[in-house]
Amino acid sequence: MTRLPVISGEEAIKVLNKAGFVFVRQKGSHVRMKKVTSERTINVTIPLHDVLDRGTLRSIIRSAGLTVEEFVELL
């Protein structure tokens, strides 16, 4: 099992862009991104913190429909 990296919110946004997510809006310190697939629309909110907590990052990865390995590979 791959360990979660320690990254910022901006780095998480870059990885999600590579995974096909697009910027929708920013409200305060949170960015909303979405990805439309043939099956469903996936919405993910990313806080723009200098360091994301591991639980928060794991939740973002899970909400995006990715595995930790896929996320790290895109990083």
What is the pLDDT confidence band of residue 64, given thresholds at 50, 70 and 90?
very high
Task: Tell me the whole-structure pTM to 2 decimals.
Answer: 0.88
Q: Is 62 a residue whose pLDDT tops 70?
A: yes
What is the pLDDT confidence band of residue 2, given thresholds at 50, 70 and 90?
confident
Q: Is 1 a residue whose pLDDT tops 70?
A: no
Do the beta carbons of residue 34 and residue 41 sit within 8 Å? yes
Q: Which domains does the chain possess?
A: 9-74 (3.30.920.30)
**φ, ψ (nearest 5 deg) of residue 66:** -110, 160
51: nearest Cα among 8, 4, 3, 5: 8
What is the pLDDT confidence band of residue 31, given thresholds at 50, 70 and 90?
very high
